[in-house]
Structure 1
Amino acid sequence: MHILLTRPLEDCSELIIRFKKLGHIVSHMPLLKIEKKNYDDSFLNNSRGIIFTSANAIKFLDIKNIDKNIKCFCVGLQTEKKAKSIGFQNIICAEGNVRNLKELIMQNFETHEGNLVYVSGEIISMDLDLQLINEGYSIKRVVNYQTKHNNNFQEKFVNELKKNIPDIVFIYSQNSALSFLKFIKFNHSETQWMDTNLMCIGEKTSSILNEIKWKKIFLFNPGEEEFLLYKI
């Protein structure tokens, strides 16, 4: 099968290698550019727990003054792997779902234990911090990166993609979905994806691309990509 991956290379390089070993053709088209933002880190030093819903939040985090033994809540396996790589010891991991992450936080961190800090990008799929505040938690959201649409695709790559439309496309965020829709419309390829299976994280992400006619639409969590191949 021909598979199109749309995350930045560092976030999907292992998946590219795995898919190729399975005999699949893999195209890579990063839909978003990730850029660091300056942020106030004063709240980080007094927190008893830290929350990540993206590996990018860890990538752009200044860790020198953070206690690596505090409770570290991660949304999925990739984020957990990144947290481990920079020294966090007490990691509690969900299964790629922010709602599950919220439940894990409530099960493993009492409101009286102290402050939580939620490190994220500008755009998030769910207001996790506000929901936890409503549950009685003291939490501060720190935004340390932003995403921008990537409009710089080589003409040769675009032409080759049009000639060989992928069997599967993986989309990981609402922002990525908006970028992909923009790409499809700019290249006037709306009618070319009827035999493509669209894999999206969450209904909100898939709904953005509903105006394109797909073969099938599947919802998934990060880490389930290889499993999904056997559902096609």
Structure 2
Amino acid sequence: MNPNSKMPHDQTRRRLLLTRSDLQAEEMVEALASVGISCVSEPMLSIWHVRKLETHTVEPASALVFTSANGVDAFMGQGGSARGKVIYAVGPQTAGRLAAHGVHTVHTASGDAASLLQLIYSTWRPGDGSIVHVSGEDISCDIAAELRQWGYRARRTIVYVAVPSTSISTATLDGLRNSTFFGAVFLSCRAAEVFCSLLDKTADIRAEGMTAYCLSRSVSEAVSSRAFQHLRWASCPTRGGLVQLLANHWQATRADTARP
């Protein structure tokens, strides 16, 4: 796959496939519609909240770390409270979900685990109190384990489970057969892995001519090399960075198509 190759000239007449879960998909649809991109949602993961919050883990903590919007919604939905605690968010989207729940004082990193850890190291000392990482069952980086290596008292509490889809809808499969989509969006490694695995099981379908648009380079590495012809990732690992990437490519393609 060539990350620098141009997209097909006919894609202004086609649509973008979103593999995000429902709530985040709605927000992405609105953001992309504002730049003229029409989307179809095909969630690869269903978010299930755990039945009961581990209050014995959360309540003694002096600081809480959130690494996803799903984690925020699950935590708040189970009666969790950020009152009296220092709050860290991995990026602007997660901070935005915290704000939606009334939490406005948040230390916000740049969208990835490395920047989040650096932010914690620079603003929180091991003696300042214990830290709890609020997360899903599957994680790409164990924030608590990383912090413990540097002398922090840190634990992780699981507030949701991301259950993989077992199939791709008939409508989406028909769209893939008919070249309806110019690309697909992946915001997590797991969503990319699930989609590519399901696509590989459908012998008569290949994502020929399609581009995989990924939140980060690490997410792009989870995309099957034979599933997509082109591969691109956001320079800044945030939803805003991904929307900007898509907007720039969309405008460039329309300009190319308009040339005589």
Name the larger-Rg structure. Answer: 2
For these two proteins, the number of residue pairs brought into alignment is 231
Indicate the SS of the match to 2:71. Answer: helix
1:48 alignment partner, one of 43, 62, 77:
62
2:154 alignment partner, one of 139, 143, 162:
139
Aligned residue for 2:244?
227
Q: TM-score, normalised by structure 2?
A: 0.81
2:30 alignment partner, one of 5, 17, 35:
17
1:176 alignment partner, one of 191, 196, 218:
191
Structure 1: gaps (5+ residues): none
Identity percentage over the alignment?
20
Report the AA paired with residue 211 of structure 1.
S
- 1:161-192 deviation digits (Å, cap 9, x = unpaired): 321242221111121112111221122256x3
Contact 1:165 1:196 in 2 (8 A): no
Cα drift, residue 21 of structure 1: 3.3
Aligned residue for 2:130?
115
Residue 196 to residue 118, structure 1, CA distance change in 2 (3 Å) = same
Contact 2:92 2:111 in 1 (8 A): yes
Whether 1:84 and 2:104 are equivalent positions in the alignment is no
Whether 1:66 and 2:81 are equivalent positions in the alignment is yes
Residue 153 to residue 194, structure 1, CA distance change in 2 (3 Å) = closer
Q: TM-score, normalised by structure 1?
A: 0.90
Contact 2:136 2:162 in 1 (8 A): yes
Whether 1:196 and 2:213 are equivalent positions in the alignment is no
Contact 2:42 2:169 in 1 (8 A): no
Indicate the SS of the match to 2:209. Answer: coil
Residue 209 to residue 165, structure 1, CA distance change in 2 (3 Å) = farther
| Distance in 1 (alpha carbons) for counterparts of 2:80 and 2:188 | 31
Contact 2:129 2:153 in 1 (8 A): yes
Contact 1:31 1:179 in 2 (8 A): yes
Aligned residue for 1:207?
221
Structure 2: gaps (5+ residues): 1-11, 251-260
Quote the RMSD (CA, aligned, Å): 2.1
2:164 alignment partner, one of 136, 146, 149:
149
Contact 1:33 1:148 in 2 (8 A): yes
Indicate the SS of the match to 1:60. Answer: helix
| Distance in 2 (alpha carbons) for counterparts of 1:111 and 1:225 | 34
